[in-house]
């Protein structure tokens, strides 16, 4: 019985006809904000470097992301195989109504529930390099070559901090050999330089590389702007450089992944203004009973161990009156069970924007700003404009890799790296309501 249980709990790694599976090497390379729409866009299809790359890749053209469609939950799904409701990293920011963390992000791996690839690989004696993958603030001993993602400041003091947070000596070594002193403000080109050095000098089995440059451009200019195509052309050249480097090593795959698409919003709703008005948040005393944790186009109600009953009818009425197109989702609504399964298992209510209005957690002077506009994501992942992509370059003829959801990146990495990974509930296989 014990043996049978083990078989059920582990994904079968690719097994050679004789002997144990051959250890393979993988680069998991994230281009933040690589929206699915690029692959079909004529400007993108005209880029010679991408014409060559697309011919040689297994292309996953439409990949659904997490609830919410934001960076940290999506990247955490890629290293756990779980939806946000299960890995519990539900936002880029902590629930922090009075900003005690001074603008903190959800950087810390201790907030992730379930096994992560970092621990799975280490316990199977595989050496992992991490170049600033989101949500990797943890003890340096957990990841063999470790540069976490963190961002508190700019300039030389931040570089000193990054040296302390990384594998002892590694940050300084990369700087000495490549001239790149890594921080959150390092360009994609500098991150690539550091990755080339790490891959060649340390020879890790698995390397995670995170590049945020495209996402930053998209927030500023929108998706499909001329600058975005120029940037993607540069990234394509970097991918070609890495492919040339690994060509002779027939044991290495490159998996290009991303976390969400992009949209242009019009109108901003501040739901916590209503909770304050109804007495659930006391600004003077700095206490709160309930709070809407927002993530772009969706939000969840967080209960701070409140003694008070929440008045769903009153809040629903106020929000739907003040914020056009925002739906209040609680028990009985068609989307309630889906949001609980994928996003937050214990929330009593959610807010959903199906059009172009964005949600913001700040306690602003008004409930709704009709004129606010900008470029972002964080809406329902089923929307076409939130879909993203993945591309696999591998010497293997048949990989069996399928990526329909960002959580499938976990399973793909395990397969390509011949890691034995526990089966964790996948967002792709979660039961969905229409």
Nearer to Zn ion, 38 or 310 (CB): 38
Candidates 65, 71, 341, 424: give the one binding Zn ion (CB under 5 A): 71
Q: Minimum distance between the CB of residue 70 and Zn ion, rounded to whole angstroms?
A: 7
Q: CA-CA distance, 377 to 385, in Å (whole number)?
A: 9
Q: What residues form DSSP beta bridges with 352?
A: 298, 327
Q: Which range, of 252-260, 276-284, 358-366, 405-413, touches Zn ion by CB under 5 A? A: 252-260
Residue 347 contacts residue 301 (beta carbons within 8 Å): yes
Q: Which range, of 124-132, 253-261, 345-353, 412-420, touches Zn ion by CB under 5 A? A: 253-261
Q: Minimum distance between the CB of residue 217 and Zn ion, rounded to whole angstroms?
A: 12
Q: Which range, of 1-9, 32-40, 60-68, 81-89, touches Zn ion by CB under 5 A? A: 32-40
Nearer to Zn ion, 35 or 180 (CB): 35
Q: Which range, of 34-42, 69-77, 293-301, 390-398, touches Zn ion by CB under 5 A? A: 69-77
Q: Which range, of 115-123, 173-181, 254-262, 321-329, touches Zn ion by CB under 5 A? A: 254-262
Q: Minimum distance between the CB of residue 197 and Zn ion, rounded to whole angstroms?
A: 25
Q: Minimum distance between the CB of residue 193 and Zn ion, rounded to whole angstroms?
A: 22
Nearer to Zn ion, 215 or 293 (CB): 215
Q: Minimum distance between the CB of residue 34 and Zn ion, rounded to whole angstroms?
A: 9
Residues 298-317 that bind Zn ion (CB under 5 A): none
Helix runs in 103-155, H state only: 117-123
DSSP state of 22: P
Nearer to Zn ion, 121 or 406 (CB): 406
Q: Minimum distance between the CB of residue 33 and Zn ion, rounded to whole angstroms?
A: 5
Q: Which range, of 25-33, 164-172, 316-324, 402-410, touches Zn ion by CB under 5 A? A: 25-33
Q: Does 149 engage in binding with Zn ion (CB under 5 A)?
A: no
Q: Does 259 engage in binding with Zn ion (CB under 5 A)?
A: yes
Q: Minimum distance between the CB of residue 30 and Zn ion, rounded to whole angstroms?
A: 8
* Burial of residue 359 (number of CB atoms within 10 Å: 0-12, 13-18, 19+): buried
The closest alpha carbon to 117, from 107, 108, 129, belongs to 129
Residues 345-384 that bind Zn ion (CB under 5 A): none
Q: Which residue is nearest to Zn ion (CB)?
A: 71
Q: What residue ranges in 259-412 does DSSP mark as E strands?
A: 263-269, 281-282, 287-288, 290-294, 298-303, 326-330, 349-353, 358-359, 368-376, 388-393
Q: How many residues bind Zn ion (CB under 5 A)?
A: 4
Residue 370 contacts residue 111 (beta carbons within 8 Å): no
Nearer to Zn ion, 33 or 267 (CB): 33
Q: Minimum distance between the CB of residue 260 and Zn ion, rounded to whole angstroms?
A: 5
Q: Minimum distance between the CB of residue 258 and Zn ion, rounded to whole angstroms?
A: 8
Two structure tokens written together for 21: 């599976």
Q: CA-CA distance, 386 to 227, in Å (whole number)?
A: 20
Candidates 32, 218, 238, 293: give the one binding Zn ion (CB under 5 A): 32
Q: Does 167 engage in binding with Zn ion (CB under 5 A)?
A: no
Task: Give the angle 412-413-416 at the CA atoms, nearest 5°.
Answer: 85
Residue 294, Cβ neighbours under 10 Å: how many? 24
- Cα 170 to Cα 25, 67, 160, 211, 406: the distances in Å are 21, 35, 12, 19, 30
Residue showing tokens 């943890």: 138
Residues 205-224 that bind Zn ion (CB under 5 A): 215
Output b/e per residue, 262-292; b: 16+ Cβ within 10 A.
bbebebbbbbbbbbbeeebbeeeeeebbbbb
Q: Minimum distance between the CB of residue 223 and Zn ion, rounded to whole angstroms?
A: 12
Nearer to Zn ion, 218 or 342 (CB): 218
Euclidean distance between the first and the last CA atom of the chain, given in angstroms as a whole number? 39
Q: CA-CA distance, 262 to 387, in Å (whole number)?
A: 8
- 423: Cβ–Cβ under 8 A, 6 or more apart, which residues? 8, 9, 10, 11, 81
* Burial of residue 41 (number of CB atoms within 10 Å: 0-12, 13-18, 19+): middle
Query: Which residues of the shown chain bind Zn ion in the complex (CB under 5 A)?
Result: 32, 71, 215, 259
């Amino acid at each position: 019985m014990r043996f049978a249980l083990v078989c059920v709990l582990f994904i079968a790694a690719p097994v050679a006809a004789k002997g144990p599976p051959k250890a393979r090497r993988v680069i998991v390379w994230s281009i933040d904000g690589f929206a699915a729409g690029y692959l079909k866009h004529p400007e993108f299809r005209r880029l010679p470097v991408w014409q060559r790359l697309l011919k040689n890749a297994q292309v996953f053209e439409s990949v659904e992301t997490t609830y919410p469609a934001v960076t940290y939950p999506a990247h955490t799904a890629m290293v756990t195989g779980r939806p946000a409701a299960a890995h519990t990293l539900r936002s880029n920011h902590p629930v922090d109504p009075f900003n005690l963390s001074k603008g903190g992000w959800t950087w810390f791996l201790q907030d992730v529930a379930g096994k992560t690839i970092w621990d799975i690989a280490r316990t199977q004696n595989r050496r992992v390099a991490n170049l600033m993958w989101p949500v990797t603030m943890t003890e340096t001993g957990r990841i063999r070559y470790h540069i976490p993602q963190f961002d508190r400041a700019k300039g030389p003091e931040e570089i000193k901090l990054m040296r302390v947070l990384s594998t002892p000596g590694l940050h300084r070594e990369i700087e000495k050999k490549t001239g790149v002193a890594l921080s959150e403000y390092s360009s994609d080109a500098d991150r690539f330089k550091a990755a080339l050095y790490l891959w060649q000098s340390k020879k890790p089995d698995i390397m995670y590389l995170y590049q945020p440059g495209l996402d930053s451009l998209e927030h500023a200019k929108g998706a499909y702007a001329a600058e975005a195509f120029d940037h993607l052309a540069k990234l394509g050249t970097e991918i070609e450089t890495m492919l040339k480097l690994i060509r002779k090593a027939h044991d290495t795959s490159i998996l290009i992944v991303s976390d969400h698409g992009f949209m242009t919003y019009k109108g901003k709703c501040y739901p916590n203004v209503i909770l304050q008005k109804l007495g659930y948040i006391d600004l003077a005393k700095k206490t709160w009973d309930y709070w809407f944790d927002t993530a772009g186009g969706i939000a969840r109600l967080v209960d701070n161990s409140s003694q008070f009953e929440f008045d769903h009818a009153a809040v629903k009425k106020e929000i739907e009156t003040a914020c056009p197109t925002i739906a209040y989702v609680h028990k009985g609504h068609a989307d309630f069970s889906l949001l609980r399964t994928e996003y937050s298992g214990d929330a009593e209510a959610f807010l959903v924007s199906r059009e172009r209005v964005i949600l913001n957690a700040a306690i602003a002077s008004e409930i709704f700003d009709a004129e606010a506009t900008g470029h972002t994501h964080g809406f329902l992942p089923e929307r076409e404009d939130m879909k993203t992509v993945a591309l696999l370059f591998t010497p293997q003829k048949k990989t069996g890799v399928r990526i329909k959801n960002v959580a499938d990146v976990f399973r793909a990495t395990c397969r390509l790296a011949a890691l034995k990974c526990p089966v964790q509930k996948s967002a792709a296989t979660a039961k969905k309501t229409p």
